[in-house]
């Protein structure tokens, strides 16, 4: 069988050339695509009774892909959103193959015709200002470890950074220039290599300056108790542990992403423009940021009050408004 008919050579090109060199996708996206095929290929091998290295493009039929997606939901217990995420990776692979081999165009069209399932978006969880301040008060700042944990939590709240952006933060990414008349900024490296800068509060600048004393520019900003850079798991564990020590947060799932939502919601409540919040959080589309404008009941109540039925109208007719008439006559 020619190599161009086998899945293996195409998949190697897709994962090592296309998504890395041509698309420059984020590291987490690459890992997600890789994991999709780590699940799909053994499943397909069992169904068609072929070794993985002998699987052909035509073995990966739309019917088999649908069975795989059902397997994810029913046997592995994955959510609809995870199912759709795996399907997106398979579609991207089909599009890649179809764009480079005309003989595979028909196969590509069958795979790309598989529809995504409608998934209900989960409600956005966020913390009130009092709850966030209670979490910040948990670390014992009398010792070095507590100071480091407080700095990390405060940085998450200040910037609304993703976990990956926090774990990748280096000393060289901090610009602490307020004393020299400049601005305190953190340069965050986000999804797809996108870079943005977030202003830092004076308190955040103070605790970060203490953390990075004597460190090289390439050193990580946040270190665990063992002196190593924080991992994703370490950041999640810290947030969960601090939330567990706040009685009013009992039974609630608090993650670093909840703190990111909290930052956005507090910016909305402070009257910050939604497009500014989009840039602050590093969203590509403002439609992603719009969810934060819809979740606060106070904003909704104020909007309803503006158009309340039966509200008293003006006491005078417009013709009796002498100032208005004078204005119109003077035009």
Lowest mean pLDDT among 39-43, 70-74, 99-103, 177-181: 177-181
From the candidates 86, 260, 261, 266, give the one annotated as an active-site residue.
260
Residue 256 has pLDDT above 90, yes or no: yes
Active site includes 317?
no
Q: What is the value of pTM for the model shown? A: 0.70
Statement: residue 311 has pLDDT above 90: no
pLDDT of 218 reads 95
- Token pair 């069958």: residue: 110
- 257 is annotated as an active-site residue: yes
Q: What are phi and psi of 235, to 5 degrees?
A: -65, -45
Fold type of domain 129-302: hpI Integrase; Chain A (1.10.443)
pLDDT of residue 95: 95
Sole residue written with tokens 């564990």: 237
| Residue bearing the bigger pLDDT, 123 or 156 | 156
- Fold held by 3-112: DNA polymerase; domain 1 (1.10.150)
Residue among 191, 206, 215, 232 flagged as catalytic: 191
Q: Is 170 a catalytic residue?
A: no
Instruction: Tell me what the mean pLDDT of segment 40-68 comes to.
Output: 95
Asked if 162 is an active-site residue, the reply is yes
Q: Is 292 a catalytic residue?
A: yes
Confidence of residue 181 (pLDDT cuts 50, 70, 90): low
Q: Is 191 a catalytic residue?
A: yes
Domain ranges within the chain, ordered by starting residue: 3-112, 129-302
């Amino acid at each position: 069988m020619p190599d161009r008919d086998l899945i293996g050579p195409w998949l190697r090109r897709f994962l090592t050339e296309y998504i890395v060199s041509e698309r420059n996708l984020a590291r987490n996206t690459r890992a997600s695509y890789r994991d999709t095929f780590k699940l799909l290929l053994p499943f397909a091998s069992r169904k068609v009774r072929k070794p993985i290295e002998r699987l052909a493009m035509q073995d990966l039929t739309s019917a088999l892909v649908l069975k795989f997606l059902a397997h994810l939901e029913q046997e592995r217990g994955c959510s609809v959103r995870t199912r759709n995420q795996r399907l997106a990776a398979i579609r991207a692979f089909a599009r890649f193959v179809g764009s480079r081999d005309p003989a595979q165009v028909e196969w590509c069209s069958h795979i790309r015709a598989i529809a995504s399932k409608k998934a209900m978006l989960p409600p956005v969880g966020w913390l009130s200002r009092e709850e966030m301040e209670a979490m910040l008060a948990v670390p014992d700042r009398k010792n070095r470890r507590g100071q480091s944990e407080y700095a990390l939590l405060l940085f998450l709240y200040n910037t609304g950074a993703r976990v990956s952006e926090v774990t990748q933060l280096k000393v060289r990414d901090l610009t602490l220039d307020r004393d020299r008349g400049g601005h305190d900024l953190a340069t965050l490296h986000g999804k797809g290599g996108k870079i943005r800068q977030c202003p830092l509060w004076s308190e955040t600048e103070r605790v970060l300056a203490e953390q990075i004393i004597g460190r090289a520019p390439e050193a990580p900003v946040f270190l665990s108790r063992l002196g190593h850079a924080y991992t994703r798991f370490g950041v999640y564990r810290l947030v969960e542990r601090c939330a567990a020590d706040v009685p009013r947060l009992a039974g609630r799932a608090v993650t670093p992403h909840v703190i990111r939502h909290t930052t956005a919601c507090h910016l909305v409540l402070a009257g910050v423009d939604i497009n500014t919040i989009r840039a602050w959080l590093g969203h590509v589309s403002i439609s992603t940021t719009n969810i934060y404008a819809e979740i606060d009941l106070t904003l909704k109540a104020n909007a309803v009050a503006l158009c309340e039925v039966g509200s008293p109208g003006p006491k005078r007719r417009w013709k009796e408004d002498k100032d208005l008439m004078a204005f119109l006559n003077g035009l």
